[in-house]
């Protein structure tokens, strides 16, 4: 899903570790995205970002960007769970 003209407000809950299977380091964080909803309101979207996607989001803090996120839903023990993952961002160039 592409969302145009949003601002990455913050990145929170950053965790780091090393994969037990591959031995490679990993990073995960939650990207806080301000999404304008009409003239008066701003909605907030929280999306998880991993490794390179997290690095990319950190480079666009407090800037106007177009973002790509992936939303998935899965069922476990009769309950539905939703995941929102940050994929990429592109800086909005104002004419």
Concatenated DSSP letters for 53-84? HHHHHHHTBTSEEEEEEEEEEEEETTEEEEEE
Structure confidence by residue, pLDDT tens digits, 20-71: 999 999 999 999 999 887 778 888 999 999 999 999 999 999 999 999 999 9
Residue 79 has pLDDT above 80, yes or no: yes
34 in Cβ contact with 3 (< 8 Å): no
pTM of the predicted structure, to 2 decimals: 0.84
Residues in the chain: 95
């Amino acid at each position: 899903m592409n969302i145009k003209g949003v601002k990455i407000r913050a990145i929170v809950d950053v965790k780091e570790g090393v994969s037990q299977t591959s031995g490679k380091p990993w990073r995960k964080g939650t990207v806080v995205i301000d999404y304008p909803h009409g003239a008066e309101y701003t909605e907030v979207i929280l999306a998880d970002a991993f490794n390179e996607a997290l690095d990319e989001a950190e480079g666009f803090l407090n800037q106007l960007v177009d973002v790509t996120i992936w939303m998935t839903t899965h069922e476990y023990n009769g309950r539905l769970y939703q995941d929102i993952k940050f994929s990429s961002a592109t800086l909005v160039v104002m004419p």
